Structure 1
């Protein structure tokens, strides 16, 4: 009974150490409560609670910053064995040039705006005017979340000086610029420190004893909240947000470019020569676009065989065609005919695909237009113009005939064959409705043109038509053709 009475009296005595009221705790005090359960004795449960207060003198002293602007206050609380550090960063305000170039990975047009910028503990706010910082109704600043962001200097995104870029974890990109390098450097360092602090520190959920990380990819915090929606890494940019070094993609890109350059150099040095390709038959000498003298020398004649084939086909089935040489043929079919001729394939104009005579005449005119030097050589253009100005008919014929004899042999023979054919076309003028003037308008700019278009093009065209028309009329005298 004496032991029981002593225990009861001991239980009624007040505790030796009483914790002060919660309001009187120091700002940086740590409160710990330890509850222990003792075994039941005589059907009663005895509970004993001890409270211990850690005084300010027992806490480690921290160096005090002399600059109040940059000073941060830290509150340390312990709850459930987890320590939380709450950082309070003083607001900063200054006018900066801001341009938003991307939003959630989608590029936007770069427009620089002079905005009032405010830096908080985890955000960067942009206001159009300084007065909007009072958060009046309707004023919504542009908010940049710095948690998980990446900041770096850039010279490629803008031609301005002192420009740095902020890339958020959602893929939005901002360019920030200041005219003064000291101002830009100050903001760059302050934002960089805020990014590091906001990325590493967890957040305290309101009205809850749980603690959530500010970034779901932090190690050790993946299971902090089962219901928390994790970010999809597919829509995330591959940016190492926990490293202070710059991005590494530039090195890989430069390596790929060097690899492409090396492969191109090897290809160029190893490519076969033109002579080798011609010997293997991969590249063949063209007919269209080849110099007339070269083509005739290669074929061993004074008139290209393609001209012979086309003129024969027109003589057989096209002299009485309406608008012969004036009507244009199907361009696709003409190009197909050209391709066959350039590939030195057998050409049979009697086939059904060449039944349109205007395709044959169009290919012949294309051949003469694509000669590097026209049928009337460049050096003969002005002499022919002077000759056609002669008023006396006989003197004009003698001058033109002399110029024709001075031409190279392939030019003479090809011209003789062509104009004799055109003279036969005129014999069917009642059926084909083609006159000397109509033929000269077609073949004037096709058979001759100046080497340099220094003069008046309209005047040159007039002389071209007059020369071809005169040669066409006097073809029997000029080329000694048999009169029929």
Structure 2
């Protein structure tokens, strides 16, 4: 029996015209096959006489598109505006507060979003090719602001998204973090605002941060359109039912009585329930409270460092454990007695970290804002003797707590420099550490990079010419 290699076929041709090209539809039917199938229609293009091109396999075409998709990245990946390493901490997810954990991330800023990669730049690029999706932040409707109070670290700003996520970004290098701040802000300003964002933000504010006055307003007789779920949650916290007007009025009356009977801050301080703060208070306020011109905590830290830290490698440059530093900060704010010889403060870097934090958290720095430009002008002088005399004159004009605290601190730092062969902390190293901590412009959004140079130079000259500037030779 002959094999069906040359099967008889019946061809029906239908002619149609498409953009000037002749198309032929051929219906092919195998008459010798034992498994007759339904007629199949295939489209072919007649290019030459007697020559018909093979149709492109749909499977093959999909494969080609898949290959192109892998070779050519999406458009939004091509429009990368900025990328680099920053310290990142996520402090809220959908309005829910999270524990702050800092980590180094490779940040990629595109036209409308930011991506956080945990790996290095090379690994991040590899993950993009393999389809791995990093943590992404939509910048539409987002807000960006400096967040000095959110962390003890310097140069911290916060991004709040329309969905209620909050991120902190930080870098120790001033001009890098300033460049990132402006790049992200410009990206946000270019994007259309999410119309639903103000409503969600207002709702989040009402639920999470409602004050006593707002709580009362929820029970006002006029607020009849209040959502049932909000009313239910508030009732749960008050342990009262507000099913009718009389219950609402009773709850409102009790809240008013509670608020009017609340003790004032002064009363709580007099009873010792709330201690006067050391960290975050004005220098003159702390000194007045202690009847001194140098804060007691500053003296204690200096004594501890001079007792067991002068020979420690990287003293004041190496960071201590932040959790332990915060614990020390809490004790200083709440208790009168502090023993830095206790074993829990054995790491001297914790003591130096707390001292730097004290000066960093002063509402007005050790070099007052009104003197900042004067000190900058003094350090710009070409003649070294003229610079020294100008700084000496300015120091004499400082308020007494600032001048005396400055004298004690720089005298202590001179002892650190005297043992630089052991602790590896030169005048220049200490200037880099303490310059931005002790001197700050009131408007830090100015020339931060330029200010940083002057801050370091002023701190270095105060150290190297300590005796002349503070008349220490006469003491």
| TMscore range, shorter length | 0.3 to 0.5
Q: Computing the radius of gyration over CA atoms, which structure comes out larger, 1 or 2?
A: 1
TM-score by length of 1: 0.47
Query: Which structure shows the bigger proportion of residues in helix conformation?
Result: 2
